Chains A and B, each alone.
Chain A
């Protein structure tokens, strides 16, 4: 069963529309960030107000996003909520935005992660105004990169996230923040340069008239060009997702960043890497995708295996959390490497579920370290009785990461593996082994930190505060909700959606268009079987 087979029109689809809906999702956070930045705040008098403004800005964004999600017409393969304004016609730049199914999945992820990151940042005490302004700018740049339908606009938003995130780590990070921030800038900068080279190569070979994705990605290229562009895009995606061996920034960035920033980076900003590979390599360069799919599968296997082994060897809970947050990216990549409709559909779902699971595991590890006043796994032991809320959420995070049934990640992993075992059996097997090692790493981590014998030498421990419980709860709850109601809750006795048209239905829009290059013709299908 593919995602497209279960699409359905939601009640009231298309009633609400705004010519600038996607622009609102980008520019509302920017406007609020500028407002916060210039707001007088003598001696931190309005710190609480600033936090509330940032929270409600995210809430309003999420509300608008939920309307967009609800009104999304999943039976249409085309882009929706499109905005197209000529920007720099002399070089063919248009302010072109739009979303399809994968895009709406990424936007929902970004919205949820945005709310979670603000709640996770409630404990920020220093330079509150600057912190929340930068956080909102980072979120806006992620939203912009998701909805960009012009490659120039994509480079703009892709690169724009580097400065605020680096400053957030430099300003509010842990003791090794300087090295962490420089590594992030180096890797992400390299990725942005690779993205620019790939885009400009496409621009040049298509005649240098436009940066519009419809043209750049819709024009058939020679296999040589496809491979060159795809390699550049894989470098760009691998630095962001991240994938082994371009993961050098991840451990320190996630371990040293403040919790809210770690949630944004691991949850939404890093998923852009996989989203780029889906859009460009899989969606538009079929010859290169066929040729490079074993490489992608190998990268997926190396990433998952390396992350799991590194997590086992870690003696710092935040390092372990950072490595574990790499695992969903590898699974998403495996789905892309499958270049089969089921695998790609699974990877689209895993963009969302993997983002949430990565944010959840990175966030919960960070929260445990803050509440236990130490990051050392040599000291953290037997915490479950003393932090029951966090213990529960830690368990949920582990289950979500492993793709246990009832979590949305279960569906995405099943689809990914079913799709991949057919076309990339060695890669899929290797990733499965990596996932088994991840389970061992998680079991060891949980066993030691939560259920080991209490350590009398460890510093004092407290359970999660309300904000922390909420942000972790939102991430875990979203994974559970979609795991339990993939098609959305229905009015009893009918097939009519209640208020959620069904996440799995909504994100299917446009996937068939991406997978059409990899679908066997009807006449060839029986022969292939």
Chain B
């Protein structure tokens, strides 16, 4: 039973490998392929159930390299649920490859799971790279040029992160996160610590696509298939966010070495994301910028260096993971800009509701998941007395909500394009039982996340406590 906790990871990886091999060697008859997304989503849901059931135990594996605590439970459960809903809600007719399209979200979710339960720097880095690499593969299927760009940007991010981690290791003499915290307990903030944190902050910001670094990687995500965009905008950023939370908690004894970076990044992302979302009209870039804005709120929670702030960041990261990953998947083919989704509320009501809720949640509009997460972070910011960042965040949210109202208008108030005028870029998403069920599940989760948020926030709070915060 001790290893039951690792069953979800094993299931996800095994499933990804089997699906990839089945696609490569043609093991699966054409008639059976149609059921592959259903079966995969179901297995991921089973893994999610096992995680909730078995993941409550607190234990370590591989000499402390992997830690199963409440933080890991929260992040892993969020990644699994996100992957299951994304796989179900995707319009597979709009994807470039069924097998790779199924396998890569699983590997990306696995990357998040590895980062969430990592006990040392190596695990953090490996998880982040795995999540990001899966996104590059997805982008390369449709746009190899953009995939190359994403790979280069990712390489820069990796370099910055590795340099930062190496400096941190050199300064503290440890790669184990809890040991680093113990070493730093009696240290004063020094340049030798501030420098690696600058590199780490920059690297993670590039990986997550935080403004102003979003200009490097985000266009690549926007050019990918719907699910590919979801991986770039959503799960990769979630992996970076998870790594950031774990690093911040290791450095919590001397918050002065990272707080300024977190403050600046959060402010620029919250305001910049909102402003950029208002400036663009095409739905997919708008959704990506909304995600940038919400990621700024996650960063703002880290800037508080309080348990309540870290818990709030984690709570918001869960809401962000679901909305930012599944949002592009629900959008489907929307390369044609606003006309592609005009009147979708009339012709594809469930999918349109999902798109609307994803955007509203990312904007922080009440009463959806993002609102609860952002206000929880706002409460932590108020407690830490950081009213400037709070005000900037609220400004960004107001701009984001205004941007979403523009998209809702297109979805529900404009008339749909005539069929004859629809090109491939504006093709309507196919309606299947699975995609409808996925969209409904997404709507329910986003609406219920805050309304029934007590156990979720409680778990996030326990997660922050598990990281050693009191």
Contacts and interface: CB of A to CB of B under 8 A. Distances in A.
A87 interface: yes
A127 B413 contact: yes
A376 interface: no
A162 B308 CA distance: 29
Interface stretch (B61-69, B94-102, B373-381): B373-381
Interface string B375-396: 1101101110101001100110
Contact of B345 (A130, A160, A166): A130
B405 A167 contact: yes
Contact count band on B? 35 or more
Contact of B387 (A91, A167, A192, A201): A201
B409 interface: yes
Contacts of A193: 391, 394-395, 397-398
B382 A201 contact: yes
Nearest to A166: B405
A160 B366 contact: yes
Given A88-B453, A171-B409, A171-B412, A196 B378 contact: yes
Contacts of A156: 366-367, 371
29 contacts: A38-B349, A87-B453, A90-B311, A90-B457, A91-B379, A155-B375, A156-B366, A159-B366, A160-B366, A160-B367, A162-B365, A163-B365, A163-B401, A163-B404, A167-B408, A170-B405, A171-B412, A171-B413, A182-B402, A185-B398, A193-B395, A196-B394, A197-B390, A200-B390, A201-B382, A203-B382, A204-B383, A204-B385, A208-B383
A233 to B, nearest CB: 15
B453 A185 contact: no
B408 to A, nearest CB: 6
Nearest to A194: B394
Interface of A: 38, 86-91, 127, 130, 152, 155-157, 159-160, 162-163, 166-167, 170-171, 181-182, 185-186, 189-190, 192-193, 196-197, 200-201, 203-204, 208
B355 interface: no
B269 interface: no
Nearest to A141: B366
Contacts of A162: 365, 401
A204 B382 contact: yes
Contacts of A182: 402
> By DSSP majority rule, is chain B's interface helix, strand, loop, or mixed?
helix
Closest 7 CB pairs of A and B: A189-B398, A200-B382, A193-B394, A171-B413, A204-B382, A208-B383, A160-B366
Nearest to A188: B398
Nearest to B403: A185
Interface string B266-308: 0000000000000000000000000000000000000000001
A203 B349 CA distance: 40
A159 B365 contact: yes
Nearest to B364: A159
Contacts of B376: 88, 91
B12 interface: no
Nearest to B343: A127
Nearest to A152: B375
B413 A167 contact: yes
B461 interface: yes
- Which of B371, B375, B385 has the largest count of A CB atoms less than 10 A from its CB? B375
Given A89-B454, A201-B382, A208-B382, A163 B405 contact: yes
